[in-house]
Amino acid sequence: MIFRSFYLALLTTVIVLPSCNAQSHQNETIYQYATINALMEGGYDGELTMKNLQKKGDFGIGTFNALDGEMIGFDNHFYKIKSDGKAYPVKSSTLTPFAVVTHFKTELKHDTSLILNLKELYNLLDSLSPNKNLYVAYKIKVVCPKIKTRSVAQQTKPYPKMIEAVKKQSVFESNNSSGTLVGFRFPEYMQGLNVPGYHFHYIADDKQSGGHVLDLTGSDFKIEIDFMDDFELKIPNNPEFNKLNLTKTKLEDLEKVEK
């Protein structure tokens, strides 16, 4: 363990930005539209346009109406990774049924040349952001010898529940891809509203491919972290959402869908 720690220290650099450290954080808001349980129950249509979502944040993840692909955005450029595995720029009029965004402000930087799989990356992020009661956003540049992502096909009505929809998901495996991971860690106490723990989407540097991250082997991680203590949840105002039973989603079903 001592050797491992020494090795970690040798190969990583942490930059704490002025007036910030891992314990403090700015008064920033993480904005969420709808709830993960609504999505789990088949609530795939929202009224929020990308234009209005982007007023709430320049960085985030989500999906699109009819569950048509994985959303990823940073530096105010948002993309849709469809079930063909390709990334498409998102139109301002496109609607989302579920998304999480923030105005990303880097509070902590950490670079490492360690080679890590997804679980090891999560362990590193745990050590960099130990306060599990805060909302945390991560923007991570990475070079991936291997990365496995997925996207879900556009659904047709009557919508199946997500546990059914993901059975037909498209899985993409890429070698030697470099790109950006965009994601969040939500506290366990937010279960029902969002995915507890880590949740990452990925887009390659050439903006051609990506998806919801299932696994990776990466190196040259350039990690930027934003800590937040203010959460805004806007729920859709439509009859479909209002009719959903949002209390019956099982955590194990959510884990099946996300992993």
Binding site for a copy of itself (CB under 8 A): 24-25, 29, 35, 37, 131, 133-134, 187-193, 229-237, 241-242, 244, 246-247
Q: Which is nearer to a copy of itself, 193 or 225 (CB)?
A: 193
Tell me the C-alpha distance between 143 and 157, whole Å: 39
Q: Please state the closest distance from residue 233 (CB atom) to a copy of itself, in A.
A: 4
Partner residues linked to 104 by β-bridges: none
Query: What element of type H or E holds 121?
Result: helix 118-128
Q: Which is nearer to a copy of itself, 173 or 255 (CB)?
A: 255
Is the Cβ–Cβ distance between 235 and 34 less than 8 Å? yes
Give the type of residue at 210. G
Q: Which is nearer to a copy of itself, 28 or 70 (CB)?
A: 28
Tell me the C-alpha distance between 161 and 34, whole Å: 16
Q: Please state the closest distance from residue 235 (CB atom) to a copy of itself, in A.
A: 5
Q: Give the position of tokens 């096909």.
A: 153
Nearest to 257 by CA among 214, 215, 216: 214
Q: Which is nearer to a copy of itself, 194 or 209 (CB)?
A: 194
Q: Please state the closest distance from residue 191 (CB atom) to a copy of itself, in A.
A: 7
Q: Please state the closest distance from residue 241 (CB atom) to a copy of itself, in A.
A: 6
